[in-house]
Chains A and B, each alone.
Chain A
Amino acid sequence: MGVLTRRVSSQNLAVIALIAVLVLVMHTMFPLFLSPLNVESIAMAFIFEGIIALGMTFVIITGGIDLSVCSMLPFAEIICAKLMTQAGMPVWAAVVLTLLLGALVGAANGVMIKLLNIHPMIITMATMLILRGTNLAITNGKAIAGFSDGFLTLGQGKLFGINIPVIYFVVVAVILSLLLNNHKYFRQIYFIGNNEKAATLSGIDVVKVKIFFYMLCSVIAASAGILAASKYGAAHWVHGNGSEVKAISAVAIGGASLAGGSGRIGSTVIGIIFLAVINNAFVMSGMNTFWFDVVNGTMLIAAIMISYYATYRNEKRLLKVKYEKLLGSGE
């Protein structure tokens, strides 16, 4: 109910329009753009960044950020791979253990941020380095392969003709969106991101809630790692490089303020689709894909400027009231 009545933001509409125009232009220039094969490649090209962005959305709404996800992804790949190939664990046990380890790392992030009272960017950057170092050390920089067919199905298989990671993404997005839109516990993060002090005074256990959502973000990144290992058929420390920036961009392009207090799962999905389509447009049109990150970065700045504009407009409105009062008191 609530989902339907709440309006789609104008920024979402603008991004959707931009995607539509892009698709239309690409389709006229390259008729193969909308072929099933290319649509599949659009969907799969950014699927892991997309999954990570879902978890990132919560952290950003609380007013935080998590850079460690980019090494969480290969960390989960490697741990899961080692548990299966070296410890001989069954797939399900390896997956569960890997996710638990992800939760632990997320908890460590949350606890350190609150306990040391240091900006999440610094703490999660440290975690990122620690995980990356661990990844390199425990693999000597080499890939781990040799997975069972059952495990490979997770990332490479299809259900009803759709790639399993895409189905996973959609299911997780729908569930998280329902929760974020309606569940009491999830709604708290909007109050925290809007005004942490007021949220504390209103009785929200800010510390606990934040730790929970850092855990959620890490677990989701770990799940992306498990799927990535399966899709690539190997675990390698270099996977996931730069995924944190793309995930953050997707959330911001979706219209969330990086200062916290706003953002929605649906908007993040729009943001990730936008990045995926642009990227594919580069590939299709034969442009140098190295330029893609330039577009990505520019879009991030544009998104941040738009969210600043909203704040600016609010301040302007306040000033107007004050000014009219000044005029009134003179005459």
Chain B
Amino acid sequence: MTPVFLEVKNISKSFASNAVLRDICFDIREGEVHALIGENGAGKSTLIKIIGGIYQPDSGEINIDGQVVHCANPIQAMERGVSIVHQELSLAQNLSVAENIFMRREIINKIGFIKWDVIRQRSREIFDQIGIEINPSDLVGTLSVGMQQVVEIAKAISLKARVILMDEPTSSLSEKEIDRLFTLIRELKKQKVSIVYVSHKISEVMEISDRVSVLRDGRLVFTKDARETSVQDIISAMVGREINNIYPARSKGVGEVVLQCKGLTRYGYFRDIDFEAHSGEILGFYGLIGAGRSEIARAVVGADKLTSGEIFIDGQKTVIKNPEEALKKGIAYLTEDRKQMGLFLDFSVAKNITSSTPSKFTNESGFIKSHNIAAVAEDVVRALTIKTDNLDTDVVFLSGGNQQKVLLGKWILPKPRVLIVDEPTRGVDVGAKALIHQKLRGLADEGMALVVISSEMPEIMGLSDRLAIFREGRLTEVLDNSKGQVSQNDIMERAVK
């Protein structure tokens, strides 16, 4: 068996009180391609950032060649042969390929001037070694994304990397570029360089890797030889969690179609999306990163532009230019990013709750009638059991769950007919979560049409009457879940293949 180069022992990591990695044991052998697979938030990126020295683990250790090492930063990790190729490339666009490769390790003469000929020659040698033709004098900004990634890999090779950690390397590559990347990976393997390949695209992973490790909710489920596992096996490992039935009952009765979307397309983001939302029903949107769920929602309410497609409300064709118009027509979108885009953190609870309906709280001249605000906000705070000292407390001082309730209150106040909620319980404690679920079901029972976007599989299964599954900008299938009959494997199969 090939020797182990790097070993991760019992690593745990939490951010705030949120455990992201728990007791991970994992090793990388010389010259292997080791895939790291998992759902959104399974802990893949955190793990490679710890190996690459960007984050420090809370406990556990990393061994390289059998020796315990502590990498306080990525530079120390690089010196020990560990390089990361990030999903978002970090090259300087206005500088040449050669200069980027030799950044911080420039070859200089006596007065500190860079010897351009030498670094160009060395870069050329690296490209010859990996069999890819790139002119070292070209500016990085003139290269395609795929070629820029090759430059990052060349940089890692020039650093004598023994393991290259690649985070979602194919996410912005074309088919042709993916083929070239795989050829390059095979070439690197021959040269005894190991690759850790983070991805959620199982077909790619099966094609390229020697071993596969699956993470779920911050734990390692298994590490297996790629030959001894199957797509089915991996999917089951990604999703195989216990589901406790703490969700509210299903729909009491599905009504008319309120919102219908036909052929929604946004250039570069999603294509040919058809779906309809019924009153009295919760429609779930599931997909992994890059599936385009939030992008679709944003385009429906006019926050982003559609390239083509039609939207019907109550069977009437309509055009929505911006979120304000969407709200007038009865569609509200509750963002996934409550801190950046949802709430005014330094404003009071009352002001936040009433901020979606300013015209209700002003007199004819546009001045605010504050006593009305207080009364209305009071009702919402009580209905949603928002825990706050008083109505004038700034939202920033509330817990995540209560902030989320404020956001929900803000968007149900204008009484929309269609409510799209994006990750409604992210970073929210269990109690608040259950209450938000009940409230969402309650709104559906009152006749609202709900679209719930969530990356959390139990949540989407527990809430949805129907389930739309997206993959890379396409809608794969809408499943009937009116009796809770959809399984985790059903969903994951449609989300990854």
Known pairs A187-B106, A191-B103, A201-B54; A324 contacts B174 (CB<8 A): yes
Check: B144 CB closer than 8 A to any chain A CB: yes
Is the Cβ of A198 less than 8 Å from the Cβ of B90? yes
- Residue ID in chain B nearest A323 by CB atoms: B268
Check: A202 CB closer than 8 A to any chain B CB: yes
Q: Mark B58-100, 1 if CB is under 8 A from A, else 0.
A: 0000000000000001110000000000000011111110010
Is the Cβ of B114 less than 8 Å from the Cβ of A195? no
Tell me the complex Cα distance, A204–B173, Å. Answer: 30
Q: Which of A178, A198, A327 has the most CB of B within 10 A?
A: A198
Q: Which residues of A contact B54 (CB under 8 A)?
A: 201
Tell me the complex Cα distance, A330–B169, Å. Answer: 21
Q: Mark B176-187, 1 if CB is under 8 A from A, else 0.
A: 010000000000
Q: Which residues of B contact A324 (CB under 8 A)?
A: 174
Q: Which of A312-331 contact B (CB under 8 A)?
A: 314, 317-330
Known pairs A202-B75, A321-B173, A326-B473; A184 contacts B106 (CB<8 A): yes
Check: B472 CB closer than 8 A to any chain A CB: yes
B117 CB contact (under 8 Å) in A1, A184, A198, A320: A1
Which of B20-28, B125-133, B239-247, B269-277 participates in binding chain A? B269-277
B172 CB contact (under 8 Å) in A182, A202, A322, A328: A322
Q: How far is the CB of A11 from chain B (nearest CB, A)?
A: 13
Is the Cβ of B112 less than 8 Å from the Cβ of A191? no
Tell me the complex Cα distance, A191–B91, Å. Answer: 8
Tell me the complex Cα distance, A195–B177, Å. Answer: 25
Q: Which residues of B contact A183 (CB under 8 A)?
A: 111-114
Q: Which of A244-267 contact B (CB under 8 A)?
A: 261-262
Is the Cβ of A182 less than 8 Å from the Cβ of B113? yes
A194 CB contact (under 8 Å) in B92, B96, B117, B271: B92
Tell me the complex Cα distance, A204–B113, Å. Answer: 17
Tell me the complex Cα distance, A314–B94, Å. Answer: 12
Is the Cβ of A325 less than 8 Å from the Cβ of B474? no
Is the Cβ of A326 less than 8 Å from the Cβ of B474? yes
B272 CB contact (under 8 Å) in A202, A203, A318, A330: A330
Is the Cβ of A322 less than 8 Å from the Cβ of B113? no
Q: Which residues of A contact B272 (CB under 8 A)?
A: 330
Known pairs A202-B75, A321-B174, A322-B172; A185 contacts B92 (CB<8 A): no
Is the Cβ of B116 less than 8 Å from the Cβ of A2? yes
Tell me the complex Cα distance, A185–B111, Å. Answer: 11
Tell me the complex Cα distance, A325–B270, Å. Answer: 10
Q: How far is the CB of B165 from chain A (nearest CB, A)?
A: 14
Check: A5 CB closer than 8 A to any chain B CB: yes
Q: Which residues of B contact A184 (CB under 8 A)?
A: 106, 108, 112-114
- Residue ID in chain B nearest A195 by CB atoms: B90
Tell me the complex Cα distance, A201–B267, Å. Answer: 34
Q: Mark A99-135, 1 if CB is under 8 A from B, else 0.
A: 0000000000000000000000000000000000000
A326 CB contact (under 8 Å) in B73, B113, B172, B472: B472
Is the Cβ of B144 less than 8 Å from the Cβ of A321? yes
Known pairs A187-B106, A202-B103; A321 contacts B90 (CB<8 A): no
- Residue ID in chain A nearest B53 by CB atoms: A201
Check: A190 CB closer than 8 A to any chain B CB: yes
**A interface residue count range (under 10 / 10 to 19 / 20 to 34 / 35 or more):** 35 or more
Q: Which of B171-220 contact A (CB under 8 A)?
A: 172-175, 177
Check: B145 CB closer than 8 A to any chain A CB: yes
Q: Which residues of B contact A323 (CB under 8 A)?
A: 267-268, 271
Q: How far is the CB of B138 from chain A (nearest CB, A)?
A: 10
Is the Cβ of B175 less than 8 Å from the Cβ of A319? no
Q: Which of A21-75 contact B (CB under 8 A)?
A: none
Known pairs A202-B75, A202-B104, A318-B145; A261 contacts B99 (CB<8 A): no
Q: How far is the CB of A257 from chain B (nearest CB, A)?
A: 8
Check: B141 CB closer than 8 A to any chain A CB: yes
- Residue ID in chain B nearest A321 by CB atoms: B174
Check: B137 CB closer than 8 A to any chain A CB: yes
Q: Which residues of B contact A327 (CB under 8 A)?
A: 271
Q: How far is the CB of A194 from chain B (nearest CB, A)?
A: 4
Q: Which residues of A contact B96 (CB under 8 A)?
A: 6
Q: How far is the CB of A60 from chain B (nearest CB, A)?
A: 13
Tell me the complex Cα distance, A115–B353, Å. Answer: 36
Is the Cβ of A187 less than 8 Å from the Cβ of B114? yes
- Residue ID in chain B nearest A182 by CB atoms: B113
Tell me the complex Cα distance, A330–B93, Å. Answer: 33
Q: Which residues of B contact A191 (CB under 8 A)?
A: 92, 95, 103
Tell me the complex Cα distance, A325–B96, Å. Answer: 28
A328 CB contact (under 8 Å) in B74, B75, B141, B175: B175
Tell me the complex Cα distance, A5–B116, Å. Answer: 10
Q: Which of B253-270 contact A (CB under 8 A)?
A: 267-270
Q: How far is the CB of A10 from chain B (nearest CB, A)?
A: 12
Q: How far is the CB of A65 from chain B (nearest CB, A)?
A: 18
Q: How far is the CB of A24 from chain B (nearest CB, A)?
A: 32
Q: How far is the CB of A304 from chain B (nearest CB, A)?
A: 16
Is the Cβ of A1 less than 8 Å from the Cβ of B173? no
Q: Which residues of A contact B137 (CB under 8 A)?
A: 5-6
Q: How far is the CB of A316 from chain B (nearest CB, A)?
A: 9
Tell me the complex Cα distance, A66–B90, Å. Answer: 26
Is the Cβ of B90 less than 8 Å from the Cβ of A319? no
Is the Cβ of A329 less than 8 Å from the Cβ of B472? yes
B271 CB contact (under 8 Å) in A6, A319, A326: A326
Known pairs A1-B117, A326-B270; A321 contacts B74 (CB<8 A): no
B174 CB contact (under 8 Å) in A178, A185, A204, A325: A325
A319 CB contact (under 8 Å) in B103, B106, B173, B268: B268
Q: Which residues of B contact A (CB under 8 A)?
A: 54, 73-75, 90-96, 99, 103-104, 106, 108, 111-114, 116-117, 137, 141, 144-145, 172-175, 177, 267-272, 471-474
The 7 A-B residue pairs whose C-beta atoms are closest, nearest first, are A319-B268, A198-B90, A194-B92, A182-B113, A2-B116, A322-B268, A262-B94
Q: What are 25 pairs between A and B in contact, CB < 8 Å?
A: A182-B116, A183-B112, A183-B114, A184-B106, A184-B112, A184-B114, A187-B95, A187-B106, A194-B91, A194-B93, A194-B95, A202-B75, A202-B90, A203-B73, A262-B94, A318-B268, A319-B268, A321-B145, A321-B174, A322-B473, A325-B473, A326-B270, A326-B474, A328-B175, A329-B474
Given contacts A2-B116, A201-B73, A201-B74, 13 further A-B contacts (CB under 8 A): A5-B116, A183-B112, A194-B94, A201-B75, A201-B90, A261-B94, A317-B144, A321-B172, A321-B173, A321-B177, A322-B268, A329-B471, A329-B473
